[in-house]
Structure 1
Amino acid sequence: MIRLPKIVGSTMLLLALFLISSCSQQKKITYFQNIDQISEFNGSSFEPTIQPDDLLMIIVSAPDQEAASPFNLTTENIPTVIGQANMAQRQQQLYLVDKNGTIDFPVLGSINVGGVTKTEVVKLLKDKLLQYVKNPIVNMRIMNYKITVYGEVVKPGSYSVSSERITITEALSMAGDLTIYGKRNNIIVVREINGKKTVGRVDITKADFINSPFYYLSQNDLVYVEPNKAKSSSSTFNQNTSVWIAIASLVSSAVFSILLINKN
């Protein structure tokens, strides 16, 4: 007969192993660990830079609007259907940044805007416009700001960003967050800088990632979440389910036969 203390000891051992495994697993999936140890966060200075293929909406205005008019692209009528009536909606034409980072601006001609921030472009245009317009006002917006999230997330895909400012955690939230199989300590961000692809890696389980250069995403960034070992193990098990069932059946039959022989 098996004595009670052995059963109790075995149960306590299994419970301890389960608790250790649970704590280890929690550390792998919890975000912003040790957040209290971060003394400061310099996020207010982030501003995206203009890249080739960006679509820019730039509107110039001034107290004398007639003087500012030549420096704006013309609007075009876009046909729309509302109910049974054909309507037309006026839409501002956009500037396309070419592969060299330049745009063709009315009157001012070719202007290099690639690789500089929105604030710097606005200042550059104002300085040039002062030769023609008194107290010019320049409003600018990136119209095709988007990021792509794929891999082990709930809703992979491309997402448009209207604010021109998004963090990697916000992007992951837009994609429905990581699945349980997503590797949280090695998220890959692919970014193009001056025509060259740059790869960054982010560990969102550690709070210091908020000071990473990849915490804020730039337009056209690709965010990839790798599968963890659990996903690989799960896939292997699922692919060989019939084999495991067959092995378990054989083992059970063998054990049952041995018990019958010993009984007799």
Structure 2
Amino acid sequence: MRLILKFFLILGSFTQFLVSSCGSRKEMVYLQQDSSFINTVYEQYVPKIKPNDILTITVTAADPKVTIPFNLVSSFAAGGMTQQTDLALRPTYTVDNDGNVSLPMLGKVRIGGLTRIEAIEKLKKELSVYINDPGVNMNFNNFRISVLGEVARPGSFIMPSERVTVLEALGMAGDLTIRGVRKNVMVIREDNGQKSIHRLDLTQQNTLSSPYYYLTQNDVVYVEPNKTQINSSKLGTNTNVIISIAGLLITVISVLTR
């Protein structure tokens, strides 16, 4: 019986060694202090309007009547709408492959490659020919970020604004699990049809200076599993084999100790 007990103790220790490892503070804590210069100026990395973006655009003025020809009106629009209904019925425009949007009265206007603020200023200039001191409201309708891998709630998320950081995206996904590698978070980005990959070390403050710290529409954030999780997966696929071997060894030991 003592041999069997020792066997179980050895087997338990071996299994624990396979599926666990000693994690250090440096591997777990975000944005640890380093000697790097920190620069988090958002304006340097503000997202640009791209083909297939869906934008909500409305024209405003002191006299609402003069804006009617420049705003698409939904067939469902009617008097007495609530603010929520009004927001839902605001016209949307899709940016074509050449970076243009087709607007009432103005026709095609090229805004691809501009920031949202730059596009608003351009439309104001175009509208000033027809309207005195026009206003333009513009927002992204499909600013989508996907977060995959070792996070609590992986999935795709529509962001309320274009100003979003990798930490905010991870927060919406429930943060990294204990098994996620914080030193090697991948950001996959597509620009002009070309995909690029950049890796961020979330344990270092210099990540705040990275051009990938602020995300753009359709970015994918991937958190890879650490060695413990990989080893656990390997062990899981071989569980039946391990149980069979353990059973055989227990039988042999029982026979030898009779």
TM-score range, shorter chain: 0.7 to 0.9
1:1-264 aligned within 5 A: 22=22, 25-34=24-33, 37=35, 39-45=37-43, 46-77=45-76, 91-248=89-246
Rounded to whole Å, the distance in 2 between the matches of 1:149 and 1:56 is: 23
CA distance in 1, matches of 2:214, 2:251: 59
Contact 1:148 1:220 in 2 (8 A): yes
Opposite residue 151 of structure 2, the aligned amino acid is V
Distance 2:193 2:108 in 1: 20
**Counterpart contact for 1:102–1:110, Cα < 8 Å:** yes
Write the distance in 2 (CA, Å) between the matches of 1:31 and 1:247.
42
Letter in 2 for 1:176: G
Deviation at 1:195, TM superposition (A): 2.4
Q: Secondary structure of the residue that 2:24 maps to in structure 1?
A: helix
Inter-CA distance 43–138: structure 2 relative to 1 (3 Å threshold): same
Q: In percent, how many aligned pairs have the same letter?
A: 42
Contact kept, 8 Å, 2:59 with 2:134, in 1: the verdict is yes
| Structure 1 gap segments, 5+ residues each | 1-20, 80-88
Offset at residue 164 of structure 1 (A): 2.2
Aligned pair count reads 229
Which ranges of structure 2 fall in alignment gaps of 5 or more residues?
1-20, 79-84
Q: Which amino acid aligns with 1:151?
A: G
Match of 2:138, SS state, is strand
Q: How large is the Cα RMSD of the aligned pairs? A: 2.5
Mean CA deviation greater in 240-249 or 168-177: 240-249
Post-superposition shift, 1:224? 1.1
Task: Please report how far the alpha carbon of residue 248 of structure 1 lies from its aligned counterpart in structure 2 after TM superposition.
Answer: 4.8
Q: By how many angstroms is 1:43 displaced?
A: 3.1
Counterpart amino acid of residue 224 in structure 2: E
Whole-angstrom CA distance in 2 between matches of 1:166 and 1:38: 22
Considering fraction of residues, name the structure with more strand: 1
Q: TM-score, normalised by structure 1?
A: 0.77
1:233 counterpart letter in structure 2: N
Is the CA contact 1:29–1:205 (under 8 Å) kept in the aligned structure 2? Answer: yes
Amino acid at match of 2:208: I
2: distance between equivalents of 1:232 and 1:75? 53
CA contact (8 A) 1:115 1:194 kept: no
Equivalent residue for 1:14? none
Cα distance between partner residues in 1 of 2:190 and 2:99: 13
2: CA distance, partners of 1:40 / 1:30: 18
Is the 1:76–1:92 contact (alpha carbons within 8 Å) kept by the matching residues of 2? no
SS at match of 1:141: strand
Compute the TM-score of the two structures, normalised by the length of structure 2: 0.79
